[in-house]
Structure 1
């Protein structure tokens, strides 16, 4: 989920840019800015930081396993015992 605090802050900053003569419309514009920002961000294919961190950890564990298997294969090949493909 996208952090609504950041969207609120951005919408507030945008509404502060409204000329002084339109102060009456400032609150409505801020709500419109907020809704537009949320809508645009929701259409993007984004993941949460938590999801990203979980996938990063999975990838790291997979990389570690792959490295270990590559080392083991290199040791076997160095001993002259190339893996037998028919053993699978």
Structure 2
């Protein structure tokens, strides 16, 4: 779902922005920030890029099938109209 590496990267960037005088607390801060980010991001309704791409492909195939069915129905209706 959420890429732990990305969360770790963001947490590290935030902790790297901490002033040098507070670097001794940076490690603890990084862990806290990472924990908070994970908690907050898990509450959001996100899908992974992979899930999104898969669903996009499913949607494309579904649209293609729908268009084929619509064309088939139109042809059958035209044929039925000729027979009437």
**What RMSD over aligned residues (CA atoms) do the two structures have, in Å?**
1.6
Normalised by the length of structure 1, the TM-score is: 0.79
Unaligned 5+ runs, structure 2? none
Where has structure 1 moved over 6 Å in runs of 4 or more? none
Unaligned 5+ runs, structure 1? 83-88
> 1:67: Cα distance to partner?
0.3
The structure carrying a bigger helix percent of its residues is 2
Structure of greater relative contact order (alpha carbons < 8 Å, 6+ residues apart): 2
**Partner Cα separation in structure 1 for residue 65 and residue 23 of structure 2:** 61
1:8 is matched with 8
How many residues align structurally? 81
Normalised by the length of structure 2, the TM-score is: 0.82
